[in-house]
Amino acid sequence: MTRSAEPISGIDTPALVIDLDAMERNLHRMAAFARQAGVRLRPHAKMHKSAELARLQLAAGAVGVCVQKTSEAEALAARGIDDLYLSNEVVAPAKLVRVAALARSLAARGGRLAIAVDGAEGVARLAEAVREAGAALDVFVEIDVGQGRCGVPPADRDPVAAVELARRVAASPGLRLAGLQAYQGKAQHLRSPEARREASAAAVSAARATRQALEAAGLPCPLVTGAGTGTYALEAASGVYGELQAGSYLFMDRDYADNAADPAHPPFEHALFVKAQVMSVGAGRAVVDAGHKSHAVDSGLPRVHDPFGRRAYAFENGGDEHGILRPLGGAPLPGIGETIWLVPGHCDPTVNLHDRYVGVRGGLVGGRVERVIPIDARGALT
Amino acid sequence: MTRSAEPISGIDTPALVIDLDAMERNLHRMAAFARQAGVRLRPHAKMHKSAELARLQLAAGAVGVCVQKTSEAEALAARGIDDLYLSNEVVAPAKLVRVAALARSLAARGGRLAIAVDGAEGVARLAEAVREAGAALDVFVEIDVGQGRCGVPPADRDPVAAVELARRVAASPGLRLAGLQAYQGKAQHLRSPEARREASAAAVSAARATRQALEAAGLPCPLVTGAGTGTYALEAASGVYGELQAGSYLFMDRDYADNAADPAHPPFEHALFVKAQVMSVGAGRAVVDAGHKSHAVDSGLPRVHDPFGRRAYAFENGGDEHGILRPLGGAPLPGIGETIWLVPGHCDPTVNLHDRYVGVRGGLVGGRVERVIPIDARGALT
């Protein structure tokens, strides 16, 4: 087990390591951005799954955090996070009982739970659970602004659907219509700033039309919430979105770094790494002790990060427990036991593979372990 | 929490479900095969990570189990599994201290630990740890029989490397030369039986040449161990391999099912499923509550399994927490709350995402929950 004040060399591998200095710069840069833009920041905690990191975000000005699962909400609420938005649909009756109970207990301590809906059946089930528990809940109507996943069509594609659903929410005792959930996930990783701008503009336009349709129908729409690390500045400037849900900015993974940056908004720094070590050296290759079980590969393989900036290796798939390094540009093969730092392809599912972060201070070269941070909602799937 | 004797409809989603009847048929079919073929079976427990399932394999005739990580070995040993083979290299001094301690404690209770090596530095470090602990260990020399990952070249490619390494092992006090580790991972998912036969034949030939080279040098080679679910029957018939390490046969994932079966060896049955449910229905699509955090996608997406055999859906990537279903062949859209069964693309890293299996008896239609099985080594990465 990693102890505090230990040197980085003492961290057993594979391990999920946060460069705390880099993370804190990311934290404050996004917080300052939201403040200056005049929008609320509600980072998505499905990314880090940690009450301690959520508290840092709240201390820096976030109004609360988003979660994606009922059990994630429960895990963070149990560790003192009071303002939670379950930005997803929940339809299973047994889970809705838990949602309603959580809404009650958060309200009792001055907090708040919100949730998203995208269908009449879901609203009816939610209303029943809330009624039976004597609870109350903020409800966002989710509209599909281009992702093609959950959400009713926005008003520029269907003048009736969102208004009709919002009316059901407003008419249900215990459910407060809180606005629109409008996240365009597919826009986040479009590589060129122009393509992201185009996709975000379409999402903004759809959200604006839907808000207008609600208001024209006499329904309140106090808040449009959405946006991610790839497009946050665009939604912030839209005049439509009042809240940003970006999450990955805190850690910045390889997939986000592969976006061509918008010159107006410099990219965040890599702050999350898998520490691995060389366990085998063969002809033209070295093998490290980290594979699919240490880093998620849904968004591609990790990138090898050399904190010294001297050596380059390509990372190849070595299966569940291994990764294969090929030297690039004449780099020498690393030796047995040598430390290798990997920038995960996608931070969210990588975090979900680990029980804890090892937070280091003073950089990856010469720094020291400052503290271990539990990943409280690791495996919170339901 | 899922209770025993509960109907399947009561299992919260997403959940990792074992069809116990199908799993037991797979278990006994492989055990009977190994018995008839006259080879030892040492299933790879990196796949299921469960002491309870390892015990079932031992009761059916397995000589022990393989693991891939020191912490996996510790987790299973702590739950009563006594004969463990760490079929991988361990080079970190702090981990080798644990390896040596585990070897001692297993030996003290009549068990045994074995490990693989593929380099002089690894042997030296292992020998030192074993000496300091006063332990003894069986050691297999790993040869690269075509996977291109760990292992020294076999004797048909390099007449010196394996013999030299085996000699180092044999000369190290506390290390007993136990034979050769010769796993051809790349052969397992070649789609045609002919291609698998060709790759396995090359591995067999390389292992045979290396065994002969060891014997010619006066070194013992009591056992060649390797093989997986895609090629086990070939290595079993080789006259070279004395032990099979197949693991996935117990659950049988989508990737193995995509292999064209060898007519002589019918495929195993799907016994592992992710139970999901429909949480959103839109135009031409339904969305389920299981994504990358519930099933690994390194070997492709899961396949939708209809236990009724009536409806077909294509599964599309919906991100970390969602999956998107598209009806095929005129199937109707499923309704909100409907149960969907997914066959994971790759069982090993899917299992590693969950804390427990829900074992059901009597099939996925009308069966009941029999017991919950802990995934003891979930997240055992080091």
pLDDT tens-digit profile, chain A (382 residues) = 455 679 999 999 999 999 999 999 999 999 999 999 999 999 999 999 999 999 999 999 999 999 999 999 999 999 999 999 999 999 999 999 999 999 999 999 999 999 999 999 999 999 999 999 999 999 999 999 999 999 999 999 999 999 999 999 999 999 999 999 999 999 999 999 999 999 999 999 999 999 999 999 999 999 999 999 999 999 999 999 999 999 999 999 999 999 998 888 888 999 999 999 999 999 999 999 999 999 999 999 999 998 887 779 999 999 999 999 999 988 899 999 999 999 999 999 999 999 999 999 999 998 999 999 999 999 999 9
Q: Are A113 and A86 in contact (CB under 8 A)?
A: yes
Q: Mean pLDDT check: name the lowest of A177-186, B24-33, B202-211, B255-264.
A: B255-264
- Calculate the average pLDDT of chain A: 96
The three-class DSSP label of residue A314 is strand
Three-state SS string across chain B, please?
CCCCCCEHHHCCCCEEEEEHHHHHHHHHHHHHHHHHHCCEECCECCCCCCHHHHHHHHHCCCCCEEECCHHHHHHHHCCCCCEEEECCCCCCHHHHHHHHHHHHHHHHCCCEEEEEECCHHHHHHHHHHHHHHCCCEEEEEEECCCCCCCCECCCCCCCCHHHHHHHHHHCCCCEEEEEEECCCHHHCCCCCHHHHHHHHHHHHHHHHHHHHHHHHCCCCCCEEEECCCCCHHHHHCCCCCCEECCCHHHCCCHHHHCCCCECCECCCCCCEEEEEEEEEEECCEEEECCCCCCCCCCCCCCEEECCCCCCCEEEEECCCCCEEEEECCCCCCCCCCCEEEEECCCHHHHHCCCCEEEEEECCCCCCEEEEEEECCCCCCCC
Please give, rounded to a whole number of angstroms, the shortest distance from the CA of B304 to a CA of chain A. 18
pLDDT tens for residues B299-349?
A: 999 999 988 877 799 999 999 999 999 999 888 999 999 999 999 999 999
Q: Given the DSSP bridges, would you call strands A285-288 and A323-327 parallel, antiparallel or unpaired?
A: antiparallel
3-state secondary structure of A178: strand
* pLDDT per position as a tens digit, A288-317: 999 999 999 999 999 999 888 777 999 999
**Test the A interface: residue of B2, B13, B279, B354 with most A CBs within 10 Å:** B279
User: Given a cut of 80, is residue B1 above it in pLDDT?
Assistant: no
Tell me the pLDDT tens digit for each residue of A220-240: 999 999 999 999 999 999 999
Size of interface A-B (CB pairs under 8 A): 162
C-beta separation of B72 from B54 below 8 A: no
- pLDDT grade for B4, boundaries at 50, 70 and 90: low
Closest Cα partner for B144 from B196, B182, B94, B102?
B182
Task: Give me the phi and psi of A228, to 5 degrees please.
Answer: -135, -175
B207-232 pLDDT tens trace: 999 999 999 999 999 999 999 999 99
Q: Do B336 and A15 touch (CB under 8 A)?
A: no
Kindly list the residues from chain A whose CB atom is less than 8 angstroms away from the CB atom of residue B302.
none
> Looking at residue A311, what is its pLDDT?
79
pTM of the model: 0.97
What is the per-residue pLDDT for A3? 56
CA distances from B352 to A178, A234, A275, B16, B269 (A): 38, 38, 19, 10, 21
The answer on pLDDT for B264 being more than 90 is no
ipTM, 2 dp: 0.96
- Cα–Cα dist B290/B16, whole Å: 11
Yes or no, beta carbons of A280 and B90 under 8 Å apart: no
Contact B292 A279 (CB under 8 A): no
pLDDT value of position A330: 86
Token code pair at residue B148: 């291109």
Q: How much is the pLDDT for A4?
A: 61
Hey, are the CB atoms on A279 and B354 less than 8 Å from each other? no
Closest CB from A94, A337, A355 relative to B91? A337
Lowest mean pLDDT among A292-301, A335-344, B60-69, B256-265: B256-265
- The alpha-helical segments, DSSP class H, found in A217-315 are 232-236, 254-257
CA–CA separation, B113 vs B96, rounded Å? 13
- Under an 8 A CB cutoff, do A382 and B13 touch? yes
Residue in chain B lying closest to A326 (CA): B149
Burial of A330 (0-12, 13-18, 19+ CB in 10 A): exposed
| Torsion on CA atoms B362, B366, B369, B375, rounded to nearest 10 | 70
Specify the amino acid at residue B212. Q
Q: Give the per-residue pLDDT at B311.
A: 79
Report cis status (omega within 30 of 0) of the bond before A349.
no
**Residue in this structure with the two tokens 């063969």, named with its chain if needed:** A282
Which whole-number Å values give the CA distances from B46 to B65, B90, B149, B347, in the listed order?
Answer: 9, 15, 17, 10
Helices (H), chain A: 20-37, 51-59, 70-77, 93-108, 120-133, 161-171, 193-216, 232-236, 254-257, 347-351
Among B94, B324, B337, the residue with its CB nearest the CB of A92 is B337
pLDDT at position A310 is 77
Residue with tokens 């506390």: B174
For the sheet with A175-181, list strands across it. A40-41, A243-244, A223-226, A175-181, A137-142, A112-117, A83-86, A65-67
* Among A94, A278, A282, beta carbon nearest to B12: A94
HSE of A380, CA atoms in CB hemisphere, 13 A: 25
pLDDT of residue B3: 57
